[in-house]
């Protein structure tokens, strides 16, 4: 995400709780961080699943922003053709805190031509180690990527939590499962699963249009081996799916 996190973020920054980015290992070998995450997974016990069963593994809690208010003040329909992955960069707020903030209209942004269109930040899901909370129907536009660009107009936005005590390995894996489910539900190819980085924010006020997000899946602020590893994780869960239709989530 990009702004308006002062409420949550400032105390964390003051406390110096800044998490380092993933380290890169030359030669394409898996880096230490990825190895640590993989050690938490038990893939051999995972078999084929129906889409409904995969959704059950994710554990989605629907807790939508009220229609007609705040970030849903105006109905903005969307046909999703991309999935955009973010991380919160918020080291104190969990998924429930984010849901509450979204429902209360607390995540404000400056509305301006060529910038934020609605005066609020919104996205579709926030994932932490034990739950994924849905904030917006997937067929409504969020405001999480590139202003009036395709990242907002055509993509489902997923935020991964980074608060202390949250198991990042499980958060990433849950996000991969949710992404695989959404690919099936909306017929989205793996090539359309992208990091926030993918969507440049074109604005004279912004020096570097490519956001370093989700920072722990990028190398030096760019998609590299760790992002490719995440895509393989998504593909793994997608390949577990039996050939059945998945119910759209709004
Ligand atoms: Zn982001």
pLDDT at 22: 39
Q: How far is the CA of 187 from the centre of ligand 1 (A)?
A: 23
pLDDT at 205: 78
Q: How far is the CA of 201 from the centre of ligand 1 (A)?
A: 11
pLDDT beneath 50: ranges in the chain: 2-27
For residue 234, how far is the Cα from the chain centroid? 13
pLDDT at 201: 86
pLDDT at 1: 54
The full set of domain ranges for the chain reads: 6-14+48-201+209-239
Q: How far is the CA of 88 from the centre of ligand 1 (A)?
A: 7
Continuous H helices in the chain: 6-14, 32-38, 51-58, 95-103, 150-153, 168-186, 225-239
Q: How far is the CA of 121 from the centre of ligand 1 (A)?
A: 11
pLDDT at 18: 34
Which fold is adopted by the domain 6-14+48-201+209-239? Lysozyme-like (3.40.80)
Q: How far is the CA of 44 from the centre of ligand 1 (A)?
A: 32
pLDDT at 208: 84
pLDDT at 206: 79
Q: How far is the CA of 212 from the centre of ligand 1 (A)?
A: 8
Token pair of 112, please?
């301006």
Q: How far is the CA of 89 from the centre of ligand 1 (A)?
A: 9
Q: What is the pLDDT of residues 226-247, one digit of tens each?
A: 999 999 999 999 999 999 999 9
pLDDT at 30: 62
Q: How far is the CA of 26 from the centre of ligand 1 (A)?
A: 26
Q: What is the DSSP letter of 139?
A: T
pLDDT at 8: 45
pLDDT at 29: 58
Q: How far is the CA of 52 from the centre of ligand 1 (A)?
A: 28
| Backbone region of residue 27 per phi and psi (left: phi > 0; alpha: psi in -120 to 50; beta: other values) | left
pLDDT at 105: 97
Q: How far is the CA of 43 from the centre of ligand 1 (A)?
A: 28
Distance CA 188, CA 150 (A): 14
Using alpha carbons, select from 182, 168, 186 the residue that is nearest to residue 238. Answer: 182
pLDDT at 176: 98
């Amino acid at each position: 995400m990009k702004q308006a996190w002062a409420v949550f973020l400032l105390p964390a920054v003051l406390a110096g709780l800044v998490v380092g980015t993933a380290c890169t290992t030359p030669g394409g070998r898996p880096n230490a961080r990825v190895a640590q995450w993989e050690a938490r997974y038990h893939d051999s016990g995972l078999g084929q699943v129906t889409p409904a069963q995969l959704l059950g593994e994710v554990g989605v809690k629907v807790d939508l922003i009220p229609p007609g208010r705040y970030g849903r003040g105006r109905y903005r329909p969307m046909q999703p053709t991309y999935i955009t992955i973010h991380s919160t960069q918020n080291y104190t707020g969990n998924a429930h805190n984010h849901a509450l903030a979204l429902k209360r209209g607390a995540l404000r942004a400056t509305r301006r031509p060529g910038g934020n269109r609605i005066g609020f930040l919104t996205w579709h899901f926030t994932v932490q180690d034990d739950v994924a909370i849905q904030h917006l129907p997937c067929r409504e536009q969020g405001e999480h990527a590139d202003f009036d660009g395709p990242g907002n107009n055509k993509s489902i936005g997923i935020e991964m939590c980074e608060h202390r005590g949250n198991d990042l390995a499980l958060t990433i894996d849950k996000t991969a499962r949710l992404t695989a489910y959404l690919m099936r539900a909306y017929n989205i190819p793996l090539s359309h699963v992208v990091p926030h980085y993918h969507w440049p924010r074109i604005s004279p006020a912004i020096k570097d249009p490519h956001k370093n997000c989700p920072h722990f899946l990028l190398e030096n602020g760019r998609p590299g081996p760790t992002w490719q590893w995440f895509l393989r994780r998504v593909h793994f869960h997608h390949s577990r799916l039996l050939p059945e239709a998945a119910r759209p989530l709004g």
